[in-house]
Homo-oligomer: A and B are copies of this chain.
Amino acid sequence: MDKVKLLCGRIVSRVNANLREFDFETEQFISNAIEYDKLSKFYCFYGITSHHPIDFYFKHASMAGSYFLGKCAVNQSIIYKSDIRGDELKRKGDIMDKDNPLPLVEDETIVINGSLLYKTLVHSNSHNIETPEEFTIRNTVSSHYANIHGSTIEGCFLGPFATIDLMNLHSCIVGEFSYVQAGEFFHKQIDPGVIHIETSDFSFQFKYKKKVIDKYIGVNASFQPRGLIYQFVMEKEPEYERLFKVVDLPPVKAPQSSAVNRYAVIKGDTKIGENVLIAQGAYLENAYMGDGSNAQENTYIIDSHLIGMNITAHGGKIINAQIGQKTFVGFNSFLLGKQTARLTIGKGSIVMPHTIIDIETPLQIPNDTIVWGYITSEADLKTHTIAIEELNSVDGELNSGEMIFSGKGKIFIDGFKRRIEQILLANGAYYDHDEDCRGHAQDDQQIAFNTLQPYRSGKNKGLYPFIRIRP
């Protein structure tokens, strides 16, 4: 175990150096999060299909319980129970930057160097035009259920349930449950519970009250979460264990056009439609997944009905709800209906990332609505939703409760709608036996897994040997 501890120390020292202006100390987070013994007991796996270019390069690192797909290189890092999903990596010849239409000279690779990712999701689709062939995560500590989505990042600390989306981050601290999508940030500290979306045409900003963050996420002094969302996730953890105990599972009933990952939990009376993607780590119980829907990593869909073409983004949780056609539920949202208080959201709506709905009486949200923030009853809808049509016509400033929108509403809406279509297309929701419309639902089937284990004894205990897997 000596070398694993040395490695942790090295990561701490690098991240602290990057964050020294904030007087930030990552060591306590790590010493309270890492159970060294588990690092030597859990295996990780690398998925291989005939549809994704494979290349797995792994050196001086530990990767207990983690999942990899696509081209990945990991060096001097600890990756614990994290999903590194590279099925949207760009390929050689792709053109990334319309203003500078030079094709990529080689396939893009996820490169993780000197970092510690703890139960973090990494999903590709990067937007860094400086290094189109490399999706980099360097000198970064990322904690429980954070999402690194298409974002290159260096020298950062991400708090629990934080999301950074389609941007670049340099020497930043992102507070727990914050969502940031803002192009590029240098040396910034983002408070907990901040929702911040910004382009040159608009900005959307919301900040959770401290007591709400405390209730649902609630980190202690060393950034270990203890709130209701964390408890919810922890209670489900034993269900995943059986997936890791066996080599083959009986296949889940699903149409040929749909993919159900072998590391997803499928329980109760769950129905899976055509062109559906159920990613690794998804949890479905009495869930109806209409045609073209997807349940991404760390999503929980329980006692709920998704009519069709629904995106449940990484970490989204939907309980006792009815979700209309093509309604989007953003990252880490927690939509908690009850058996006696069902939540209904109409068609064409957008539930913004990191939305919390926790109701005691039934609640209905109309079609074509934008939803954000913290909603516990119908009274909250007034300050936490807006009709898409209404936002469409905004040009200037709009305040609603704690939400501040400024800029061109139409560009915000059009961009969101365009992104939803891109996600549906990428996930194979529009597949109709035409090879051009294949997506993850079709390509992420028939995954073979290389299951990799670390040294179990000696000074390298918990570390993995050098591993290279190529076509």
Q: Chain A: residues with CB nearer than 8 A to chain B?
A: 43, 48-50, 54, 244-248, 446-461, 465-471
Contact of A246 among B245, B449, B468 (CB under 8 A): B245
| Complexed CA–CA distance, A244 and B246 (Å) | 9
Contact of A50 among B245, B452, B460 (CB under 8 A): B460
Least Cβ–Cβ distance between A249 and chain B, in angstroms = 10
Q: Chain B residues near A461 (CB, 8 Å)?
A: 50
Q: Chain B residues near A247 (CB, 8 Å)?
A: 43, 244-247, 451
Least Cβ–Cβ distance between A240 and chain B, in angstroms = 13
Find the residue from A54, A246, A453, A457 having the highest chain B CB count within 10 A: A453
Known contacts A247-B244, A458-B50: does B453 contact A467 (CB below 8 Å)? no
Least Cβ–Cβ distance between A46 and chain B, in angstroms = 9
Q: Chain B residues near A446 (CB, 8 Å)?
A: 456-457
Contact A468 B471 (CB under 8 A): no
Q: What are 21 inter-chain pairs, A to B, with CB distance below 8 A?
A: A48-B455, A49-B456, A50-B455, A50-B458, A50-B461, A54-B465, A247-B247, A447-B456, A448-B453, A448-B456, A451-B452, A460-B471, A465-B469, A465-B470, A465-B471, A466-B469, A466-B470, A466-B471, A467-B467, A468-B468, A468-B469
Q: Chain B residues near A448 (CB, 8 Å)?
A: 453-456
Which residue of B has the minimal Cβ distance to A58?
Answer: B469
| Complexed CA–CA distance, A136 and B244 (Å) | 37
Q: Chain B residues near A470 (CB, 8 Å)?
A: 465-466
Q: Chain B residues near A453 (CB, 8 Å)?
A: 48, 448-450
Contact A467 B455 (CB under 8 A): no
Contact A450 B447 (CB under 8 A): no
Q: Chain B residues near A245 (CB, 8 Å)?
A: 246-248
Find the residue from A248, A447, A452 having the highest chain B CB count within 10 A: A452
Contact B467 A469 (CB under 8 A): yes
Contact B454 A451 (CB under 8 A): no
Q: Chain B residues near A452 (CB, 8 Å)?
A: 450-451
Secondary structure of the A side of the interface?
loop
Q: Chain B residues near A54 (CB, 8 Å)?
A: 465
Using A450-B453, A466-B469 as known contacts, list a sample of 8 further A-B pairs with CB atoms less than 8 Å apart, ordered by residue number in A: A43-B247, A50-B455, A50-B457, A50-B460, A247-B247, A446-B456, A451-B452, A467-B468
Least Cβ–Cβ distance between A340 and chain B, in angstroms = 40
Least Cβ–Cβ distance between A44 and chain B, in angstroms = 10
Least Cβ–Cβ distance between A192 and chain B, in angstroms = 38
Least Cβ–Cβ distance between A226 and chain B, in angstroms = 30
Least Cβ–Cβ distance between A52 and chain B, in angstroms = 11
Q: Chain B residues near A469 (CB, 8 Å)?
A: 465-468
Find the residue from A247, A447, A454 having the highest chain B CB count within 10 A: A247
| Complexed CA–CA distance, A449 and B449 (Å) | 13
Least Cβ–Cβ distance between A454 and chain B, in angstroms = 6
| Complexed CA–CA distance, A451 and B448 (Å) | 10
Which residue of B has the minimal Cβ distance to A59?
Answer: B470
Least Cβ–Cβ distance between A241 and chain B, in angstroms = 10
Least Cβ–Cβ distance between A41 and chain B, in angstroms = 9
Least Cβ–Cβ distance between A38 and chain B, in angstroms = 13
Least Cβ–Cβ distance between A63 and chain B, in angstroms = 12
Contact A450 B467 (CB under 8 A): yes
Which residue of B has the minimal Cβ distance to A463?
Answer: B471
Least Cβ–Cβ distance between A334 and chain B, in angstroms = 32
Least Cβ–Cβ distance between A51 and chain B, in angstroms = 8
| Complexed CA–CA distance, A452 and B45 (Å) | 9
Q: Chain B residues near A459 (CB, 8 Å)?
A: 50
Please name the 5 residue pairs, one residue from A and one from B, whose CB atoms are nearest each other, closest first.
A50-B458, A448-B453, A451-B451, A468-B468, A466-B470
